[in-house]
Structure 1
Amino acid sequence: MEIKKHYKLYKDGKQWCCTALAAAAVSAGLMLGNASVKAATTTTNDSQTEQVVTPAADSTSQTTDLAAQEKTAQVKDNGNYGWLDSANVVNNGNLQVSGWQATNQAAGKDNRYVIAYDSTTNTELGRTKVNGNLARPDVAKAYPNVVNAKDAGYQATMNNLDWSKVKNVDDHLQIVSRYSNAANGEGDHVDSWSQPINLDKSNNAYLDNFSIVNNQLQVTGWNATNKALGKNNHYIILFDRTAGHELARQKATAVARPDVAKVYPQVINAQNSGFNVSFSLANVDLNHELQVISRYSDVQNGEGNNVNYWYAPKKFTPSNTSNQGNLDNFNLSNGELTVAGWHATDYSQVESNHYLILFDKSNNTQVASIKVTNVAR
């Protein structure tokens, strides 16, 4: 018997099937075998072969749908990313900041602010509105699924800060980058908190004058340091280094020092770091080494928490201790005493007031005294 095979395509759901038909030339006619179809299955017997064919068009559709799902998942990036590139004190109190914040949570929040915050005392020092976003292609490359990443940058100078709210130079200070739906920066908002920022901690000072003037010890100079934050009481202390104890202290009134501010723009109190005080010479031994201390304290009497600057000690006694003089003329006539002479000593550098004293040696009493004007000899 001659058997011939013919193939026929038919569709079962979304799949095309191929059926082999076996035909025999018999007198009784053609007999059709039963076909059984299963997805992704091929069945073969002597009389029938089945194949499952997956259409190319449907495969592409499935791949496209998967890619779309992945893309949709990526677009839903709800992260909040940010970084503070720099924060520097300028002009003795302004804070210049730059950085970026990228987040899809900023949608509908068109008011952008930077806020200076003391996390130690939980106090806001001030805020500045950011006018104009800066292009940040580096951020856009790192966060391609964040819509505002390409313009995430900011740069601002904060000139309205209340530094009196900072209690210590080591307070935990941070910059907050904020997107808000309110004009004042409140309302619904999303924040990015920076890493802590560090203030300059140098202690800078100079003694301009330390001399005896009109029987007073005159002291002028300046002391500029961010360590004075939270310490609003400025004292100048006279210290006897030889004896090892304090002689006196004076509370200083701040004196403007634009020259110091120009040299130390990163120091907040530099603009008003000057002082000018005087001390009585009573109980001061000019043969001892004397030292001036500039102190910023958080209590009224100058004690408590404080930061000190010790200036170089000074001994007022001259190295040449010779004391020479002569009375050239002593004339008592017509009820008047006229005297002339000279008195030479390096002690005059620290004791500049020159007096002549008439003394009754017999009674050990002073009769009279007069301040004289020195003449060249």
Structure 2
Amino acid sequence: MDLHGDSRTVLTLDAGGTTFVFGAMRGGKPILPPVVRPSEGHDLTACLRNIEAGFQEAWERCGGAAALSFAFPGPADYPHGVIGDLANLPGFRGGVPLGPLLEARFGVPAFLNNDGDLFAYGEALGGLLPEVNAALAAAGSPKRYRHLFGATLGTGFGGGLVVDGRLFLGDNAAGAEIWTTRSKLHPAAFAEEGVAIRAVRRVYAEAAGLDPAAAPDPKAIFEIAEGRRPGDAVAAREAFRRLGEEAGNALAEAVTLVDALVVVGGGLSGAAPLFLPSLVAEMNAPLRALDGHPIPRTEVRTFNLEDAADRGAFLKGDVRHLLVPGTDRTVPYDALKRTGVGLSRLGTSEATALGAYAYALFRLDSNPTC
């Protein structure tokens, strides 16, 4: 897919619980300043009016488009453009065929997908994945990666998976929904309870002896941890350490199943220096056999790609040149099975927009009559 050589325009939307941000891309780059509208998700009529008006403004500024493609929260039947019962946009409860509505309104295909999926797709095509492979090539390593798991940490805990350059959706458009994996620290709960803004605030309040309602937002907690704002620095560091432990537990499960690199984005990713070490440590922590002896948590060792020493070891690997028996020929062999965890290289919003753009082009080219 030659994203940067494609002349088609695709209108995009990042749909949140409070605001809708519209844009446009051509040649793999944004061509329009953001158009922002309130979501008014409690009122379906007002919400749909704002979606149509936002796309109409973007359409007029660009002189038309080949498709609409955007991230929308779930649950949803994304392939058919039907939005289901949303917590943050309750007006859609009962099911609304948003895709078909927009196709009728604008006369071009409308593609919807999950923001975690599109974030992973964007990073796979133009972010962390190609950067890692270029660094491996520069280091003389024969190792290359073709799969990427994307995780977004913010209001919720989102996930997306790209397999060999293609977005993995699953049979029910519910692939890579990491948020419902089991929490490590609260086994009766789901992972998102420990990997979200509310988790950072809750743990800080518990550790600092505060009323949870009085806990500051994660940005303030991060500044407290760094000593740039008054507060309980020990509690602040524990809040992010625990976030990393919970996320690492869930990502270890994902990597066990899909054997992929991991990219992290979302609103909480700015605090990565405080949670990434515990995230990677958890992915490398051993499990125990019933007789007590340790076994690796995953078949691969996880490296922190934001740490210089870890990144160097990851790029170097354990390359050997083995003699083919009975010949004088050798073959390279990298004996170190490994994965890496790195931060978004594009920024979460930019990666999601690029993923939406690429997904639209893929769908258009796969089915030119759509």
Shorter-chain TM-score tier: under 0.3
Answer with 1 or 2: which has the greater Rg.
1
Per the normalisation by structure 1, the TM-score is 0.17
More helix per residue = 2
More strand per residue = 1
Per the normalisation by structure 2, the TM-score is 0.17
